[in-house]
Amino acid sequence: MVALAYDGLCTFEFGVAVELFGLPRPEMGPGWYRFAVAGVDDGPLRATGGIRMMTDGGPDLIAQAGTVVVPGWRGVEAAVPPALCAALRTAHARGCRLMSICSGVFVLAAAGLLDGRRATTHWRYTQALATRFPAITVVPDVLYVDEGSILTSAGSAAGIDLGLHLIRRDFGWAAANTVARRLVVAPHREGGQAQFVERAVPVPHEAARLSPLIAGLADDLATPHTVASLAGAAGMSERTFLRRFAAATGTTPARWLTAARIARARALLEETALSLDAIAAATGFGTAAGLRHHFTPAVGLTPSAYRTRFGRG
């Protein structure tokens, strides 16, 4: 994993890359990312906030990378060095993955790597990206776009969302959730379209008697639940229960259960060889048809296609 550094470096975006991929994480085992910083300008480099930094090497590190992160760029109108564009094209041609955060998309665009692809960037820059690079399909209403070997994120904080998505792709949902907890962020924030990441399970906070109920629901997704049964278990009227549940989770019990069941189904599809019927039974969807009915619109793939793409078997 190589993150680019440049004169005028966007400090927050660079920090996102370091926090996600550059910190030692012994709990993840020996296969975790090896991280280096490649300077694309002669150093020392200036960064936003008056910081000056040295790097691990120059653009030659790009040739050794399995993934290159472009953490912003010094300006959407700023020229991208031809040598950097050539290095990125060569890296991508040999199979290197490329990821941009916020305005870093303009570097990939200048290299011609986004032509004919979908991409996104900060909402302030989407029109400029579409105007300057009409061969790109700019998607303005999402947190990130995953085009397989090229991934782009919206504004700066959306780089965290994209980075967690990449970790989930590489190491699974449990690893991504672990990193999210370390960062004290949600494993997933909803964008304008379904994303292939773990949905955050809302943290209950409305009342002491509601908290264990919601925790119990997460552990017992296979059992049918109704508003009446949940309200009774909480010792509330149905109206009070619905109001307090919405205050605690931001949604209805039915929607919360569906999201939790889909999240659990994703985990089982990734980590096990259970049949679709067995997964449906374990997650409260009943049958494989019921699982497909709820899973496909939410995730954008059928359960079988999701397993093919993200399963470990």
Judge contact between 46 and 67, C-beta under 8 A. Answer: no
CA proximity to 264, closest of 219, 310, 309, 216: 219
96 is catalytic: no
Q: Which residue among 10, 85, 96, 102 is the active-site one?
A: 102
Contact residues for 202 (Cβ-Cβ < 8 A; gap 6+): 214, 248, 249, 250, 251, 256
Q: Comparing C-alpha atoms, which of 46, 44, 53 is closest to residue 18?
A: 53
Q: In what order do the strands lie in the sheet with 67-71?
A: 36-39, 2-5, 67-71, 97-101, 150-153, 144-146
Contact 192, 201 (CB under 8 A): no
Measured between alpha carbons, how far is 193 from 68 in angstroms, rounded to an integer?
Answer: 25
CA dihedral 73, 74, 77, 82 (to 10 degrees): -70
Distance CA 14, CA 140 (A): 22
Catalytic residues: 102
